[in-house]
Structure 1
Amino acid sequence: MATKANTRQVYRQSNTGYSKSADTRKAILRAAIVAFGRAGYSAATTRQIADAAGVNQPAINYYFGGKDGLYQACAQEILDNFKGPLEQVSLRALEAIGAGLDRKGAARQLQELLSALAEVMILSEEVSEAAGFVGREMREPGLAYQMLYRNLWAPGIELAAALIAIVKGRAEVEPADRVDAIMMISGISAFAPGHSVSMQVMQWQAAGKDGKALVLERLEAQILGWARTPAPGG
């Protein structure tokens, strides 16, 4: 018959096993995201990834079913790293659009969205590690492209473009709004860790909180400029 002490011991051992399993999976993902970002899908090997993660090679098959599964799991990990910080602010913006936003309200929602995005892209260590992976998928679409496009790039651009259109005094999104949305998001990403040109021009080791604040200040000036311009037909 199991005693309370035995039960607690089994529980601790079980929890430790789950914790180690999660840590191993996380280590493989982080090593893979960096390796795929640097070398690309074809050149990066599971042996290299396993060595970098400090695990044996069969662990990749155990956790991910092979190289394809690992690559797609990397994309999902990147999506999850964005989803947490951005989900609530995106939902608030969508609800506000549905309820009917005026131009000032849309400007406020757009600033909040860009601020949340800057927090992730400029200050997050996980996103910094993912920059090479994401950049490769943008330049050379591969197994993860559609996943990233459908769940990250397209929805983010469309939401920003919808807010931009309202700030400008229009109900319908036009191509110029999407261009502005892409340029704003790209402007933030240019100050993410690993962008050596931006860092060298600004003479920064990293943008950090002060750099993030300066980037958002310049974006806010652009948004407020749109908000002050008379609406079309107004």
Structure 2
Amino acid sequence: MSTAKKLRRPSEGGYARGDETRHRIIEAAVELFGEHGFEAASTRDIAARAGVNAPALQYYFENKEGVYRACVEALADDAWRTFEPAIEHARKVLGENVDTPTLIDAFIRLQETLADAAFAKASKPGRRLFMAREQAGHEPESATQILASRVREPINEVSAALVARISGRPADDPITLIRSFSLHGQLVIFHVAHRSTLTVLGWKSIDAEKAKLLKSIVREQTRTLLELWSRERDGGLAAGSPGTHEAQD
């Protein structure tokens, strides 16, 4: 897949106009790729929704693959701006000799940042559907590669490292990784099964008050589990598999 063309700047004053046009095309493309998928979304429809003529897409992005890649790059940029402070804080904490409560707080800070991003995305159906299609493996592989290297891998790395320190297990231990994924997975259901969760809860949407409630519950559950695993570590149970102590009773 060819990379997106760099924006051409025809004249002074063209910078702002060019950036605005490119941004409009990307926003329209994210919505249409989310609604219809990469194969079904047409460049003509993207141009129409963006309010530009079809040749403008070729001017800025060469082809539909270039538009798609630009969408992924833009989403990755937005995600990194959101997650970077929490990730860097976690890295700082991991590099110091801190106590368990500080490690737990760092994990929860990252988790709540993820929650805020998920709830914000819920108000933008196009973005939510775009990411859901990518996660389902239905879209070009380049999306997964970009998002993995720039966003998901850093999040997963620090999350596993924090759980490892808290629980006393290696960061690459399958139990550590499953625990880390499971803790973050408490929020995923509200993203990938958005309509179903709202129906079960009897909600029309997740407003600020409901988001606060969800975050509070997830925070409490996460803290309870992390504190439990830290007590198992201190009690010398970390080296065994979960449930080992029950089997010995």
Q: Sort the TM-score into its range (normalised by shorter chain).
A: 0.7 to 0.9
* Kept after mapping to 2: 8 A contact 1:36/1:133: yes
Which of 76, 100, 104 is the aligned partner of 2:101?
Answer: 104
Give the root-mean-square deviation of aligned CA atoms. Answer: 2.3
Question: Which deviates more, 190-199 or 101-110?
Answer: 190-199
Answer whether contact 1:103 1:169 (CA < 8 A) is retained. Answer: no
The answer to whether structure 1 residue 113 and structure 2 residue 114 are counterparts is no
User: For the Cα contact (< 8 Å) 1:101–1:166, is it kept in 2?
Assistant: no
Tell me if structure 2 keeps the 8 A contact 1:104–1:227. Answer: no
Mapping of residues 100-179 of structure 1, within 5 Å: 100-124=97-121, 128-140=125-137, 142=140, 143-170=142-169, 172-179=171-178
Unaligned runs of 5+ in 1: 1-12
Establish whether residue 204 from structure 1 lines up as the match of residue 203 from structure 2. yes
Q: Which residue of 2 aligns with 1:52?
A: 49
In the alignment, residue 35 of structure 1 is paired with which amino acid?
Answer: L
Q: CA deviation at 1:214?
A: 1.9
Distance 2:168 2:222 in 1: 12
What amino acid is aligned across from residue 153 of structure 2 in structure 1?
A
Aligned length: 221
Pick one of 85, 89, 92 that aligns with 2:89. 92
| 1:19-58 paired onto structure 2 within 5 Å | 19-58=16-55
Q: Match of 2:95, SS?
A: helix
* Alignment partners' CA distance in 1, 2:86 and 2:124: 18
Distance 2:128 2:39 in 1: 18
Structure 1, 83-92 or 191-200: larger mean CA deviation: 191-200
CA deviation after TM superposition for structure 1 residue 162, in Å: 1.8
Shift, 1:208, TM fit = 2.1
Structure 2 stretches lacking a partner, 5+ long: 1-10, 238-249
Distance in 2, matches of 1:52 and 1:198, equals 30
Alpha-carbon offset, residue 187 of structure 1: 2.6
Percentage identity across paired residues of the two chains: 27
Q: For 1:113, what is the secondary structure of its paired residue?
A: helix
Residue identity opposite 2:195 in structure 1: S
CA shift for structure 1 position 127: 5.9
Matched position secondary structure for 1:231: helix
Moved over 4 A (4+): 124-128
Determine the C-alpha separation between the residues in 2 that align with 1:148 and 1:126.
Answer: 21
Aligned residue for 1:3? none
Give, as a single letter, the amino acid of the residue that structure 2 aligns with 1:156. I
TM-score under structure 2 length normalisation: 0.80
After TM superposition, the structure 1 = structure 2 runs for residues 175-194 of structure 1, keeping only pairs within 5 Å, are 175-192=174-191
Q: Distance in 2 between matches of 1:103 and 1:173?
A: 19
Whether the 8 Å CA contact 1:128–1:194 is kept in 2: the answer is: no
Cα shift at 1:81: 1.4
TM-score after normalising by structure 1: 0.84
- Return the alpha-carbon distance in structure 1 between the equivalents of residues 12 and 204 of structure 2: 43
> Post-superposition shift, 1:224?
2.2
State the distance in 2 between where 1:125 and 1:81 align: 15
* Deviation for aligned residue 1:123: 2.1
Partner of 1:81: 78
Match of 2:232?
231
C-alpha contact 2:170 2:176 (8 A) present in aligned 1:
no
Instruction: For residue 29 of structure 1, report the CA deviation from its aligned partner.
Output: 0.5
